């Protein structure tokens, strides 16, 4: 197409898409596109409407505004040729525009007061650009990845403390809204659907209202036609679901009710974290030998495959240190914190890779068993683990947990 610039279409097919029936680029476009390097690709997904998406990645900062990030530039259309052409036209308009930024409106039409801005002439968006106003409860509106990270304002009176909200457009075009509140001490999940985002939120909120005003929950272990033994239950009156009952399964050592499993074995946390690393690995991998006996694979391992054995050792060692030392075997505190320890383990694994000089692409993959056994690696792990209890105490103190 334009011989002199660095525009690099991804495939031949896309190149032809941009040059239809003698379409030419204006001198202005030519000079504009010769100043930076970019690539355009077109994708197609029948489940979405419109189904064609043109995406342009720009490698050079182009918009006449210092705070604009180089996010991929996107346009959807029913026709692939028009998708690319519209994308190009909108892009040129945004580069040429003398912007005037105003508060962005979400898809319900509510103006955001968090400073997220949109140019009223060309539609260019900059997050957290204008001075922030009064606090609103907002959530990420996931419009099929097209307005990535864009926020919407909650219209209903959701509990503000620790109630995660999210919403967006599902495949097929229905709008959804999801909330993760705690109702009567039970962490739960509520989903509403509708023709608009506001309708979906209203549907979810009416479920929330019914569940939080239920006078006395009557729990059933049969959830969606399936008997659950782990304590997960549903209220027969209001439909509230969550870990409401004691597990029916018990620890193999002490008979304490627990749904915690190591491989195929039920073990309470105390008995899990009194195992040695080798004992733990042996129990944890016991189900692998029996795989052919028709046992269902856990949904997680079906999705992600089995965790690398060295990563599993890492996690066990970090959890064990945390449970026995930092949390003094306080199961509730430990459970509330557990997800953070995954990040700590990741950082620790990185430090170990550095210690033995693993760099570049290699460093992204995990250590293998030989590398794990390396004395330098073991010493890095031990140093970090000694500091873990103090580190957790510090973080909890900042969160006001040790007044």
Strand partners, 55: 41, 74
User: Which of 10, 254, 342, 395 touches Zn ion (CB under 5 A)?
Assistant: 254
CB of 10 to Zn ion, least distance (A): 28
Distance CA 234, CA 222 (A): 7
Phi, psi torsion values for 329, nearest 5 degrees: 60, 20
The vertex-189 CA angle with 342 and 320, nearest 5°, equals 25
Give the x-and-dash track for 45-84 against Zn ion (CB under 5 A). ----------------------------------------
Q: % helix / strand / coil in the chain, to the nearest 5?
A: 35, 20, 45
- 214 belongs to the binding site for Zn ion (CB under 5 A): yes
Pick between residue 39 and residue 252 the one whose CB is nearest to Zn ion. Answer: 252
d(CA 177, CA 180): 11
Residue list 110-139, contact with Zn ion (CB under 5 A): 119, 121-122, 124
Site for Zn ion in 221-250 (CB under 5 A): 235, 237-238, 240
Residue with Cβ nearer Zn ion (122 or 348): 122
- 260 contacts 273 by C-beta, under 8 angstroms: no
Q: Which is nearer to Zn ion, 240 or 367 (CB)?
A: 240
- Rounded to 5 degrees, φ, ψ at 334 are -60, -45
* Cβ 258 to Zn ion shortest distance, Å: 7
Q: State CA 328 to chain mean position distance.
A: 31
CB of 285 to Zn ion, least distance (A): 21
- Cβ count within 10 A of residue 358: 17
Given the complex with Zn ion, which of 46 and 213 has the nearer CB atom?
Answer: 213
Looking up tokens 């909330």 gives: 179
- Which pair of structure tokens corresponds to residue 313? 């050792």
Segment near Zn ion (CB under 5 A), from 198-206, 271-279, 310-318, 357-365?
271-279
Residue 305 CB, nearest approach to Zn ion (Å): 30
Backbone angles phi, psi at 233, to 5 degrees: -145, 165
- Does the footprint of Zn ion cover residue 217 (CB under 5 A)? yes
The distance of closest approach from Cβ of residue 216 to Zn ion in the complex, given in angstroms and rounded to an integer, is 7
Which burial class, exposed, middle or buried, applies to 211 when counting CB atoms under 10 A from its CB (0-12, 13-18, 19+)?
buried
For residues 352-371, which are near Zn ion according to CB under 5 A? none
Secondary structure of residue 330 in the 3-state scheme? coil
**Pattern of binders to Zn ion over 7-26, x per CB under 5 A?**
--------------------
Q: How far is the CB of 253 from Zn ion (least distance, A)?
A: 4
Stretch 303-342 residues interacting with Zn ion (CB under 5 A): none
Contact with Zn ion (CB under 5 A) among 65, 105, 221, 253 = 253
Which residues ranging from 82 to 101 are in contact with Zn ion (CB under 5 A)? 97, 99
At 368, give phi and psi (nearest 5°).
Answer: -100, 175
Beta strands 138-142 and 164-169: pairing type?
parallel
Q: How many residues bind Zn ion (CB under 5 A)?
A: 17
Please report, as ranges, the residues that interact with Zn ion according to CB under 5 A. Answer: 97, 99, 119, 121-122, 124, 214, 217, 235, 237-238, 240, 251, 253-254, 268, 271
């Amino acid at each position: 197409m334009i011989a002199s610039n660095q525009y690099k279409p991804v495939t031949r097919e896309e190149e032809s898409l941009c040059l239809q029936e003698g379409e030419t680029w204006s001198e202005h476009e030519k000079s504009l596109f010769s100043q930076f390097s970019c690539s355009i690709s077109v994708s197609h997904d029948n489940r979405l409407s419109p189904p064609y998406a043109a995406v342009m990645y720009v490698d050079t900062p182009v918009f006449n505004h210092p705070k604009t990030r180089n996010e991929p530039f996107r346009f959807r259309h029913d026709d692939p040729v028009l998708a690319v052409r519209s994308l190009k036209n909108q892009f040129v308009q945004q580069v040429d525009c003398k912007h005037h930024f105003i508060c962005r409106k979400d898809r319900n039409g509510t103006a955001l007061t968090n400073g997220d801005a949109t140019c009223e002439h060309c539609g260019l968006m900059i997050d957290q650009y204008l001075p922030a106003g009064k606090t609103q409860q907002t959530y990420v509106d996931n419009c099929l990845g097209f307005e990535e990270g864009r926020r919407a304002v909650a219209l209903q009176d959701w509990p503000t403390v620790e109630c995660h909200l999210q919403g967006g457009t599902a495949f097929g075009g229905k709008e959804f809204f999801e909330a993760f509140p705690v109702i009567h001490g039970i962490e739960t999940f509520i989903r509403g659907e509708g023709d608009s985002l506001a309708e979906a939120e209203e549907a979810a909120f009416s479920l929330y209202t019914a569940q939080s005003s239920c006078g006395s929950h009557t729990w059933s272990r049969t959830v969606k036609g399936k008997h659950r033994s782990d304590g997960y239950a549903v209220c027969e009156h209001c439909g509230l679901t969550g870990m409401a009952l004691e597990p029916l399964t018990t620890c193999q050592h002490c008979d304490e009710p627990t749904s915690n499993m190591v491989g195929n074995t039920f073990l309470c946390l105390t008995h899990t974290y009194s195992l040695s690393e080798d004992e733990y690995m042996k129990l944890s991998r016991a189900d692998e030998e029996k795989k052919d006996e028709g046992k269902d694979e856990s949904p997680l391992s079906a999705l992600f495959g089995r965790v690398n054995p060295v990563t599993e050792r890492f996690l066990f060692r970090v959890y064990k240190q945390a449970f026995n030392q930092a949390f003094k075997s306080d199961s509730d505190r430990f459970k509330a914190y557990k997800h953070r320890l995954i990040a700590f383990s990741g950082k620790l694994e990185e430090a170990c890779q550095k210690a033995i000089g693993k760099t570049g692409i290699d460093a992204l993959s995990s250590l293998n068993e030989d590398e794990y056994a390396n004395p330098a690696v073991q010493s890095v792990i031990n140093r970090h683990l000694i500091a873990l209890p103090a580190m957790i105490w510090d973080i909890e103190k900042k969160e006001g947990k040790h007044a």
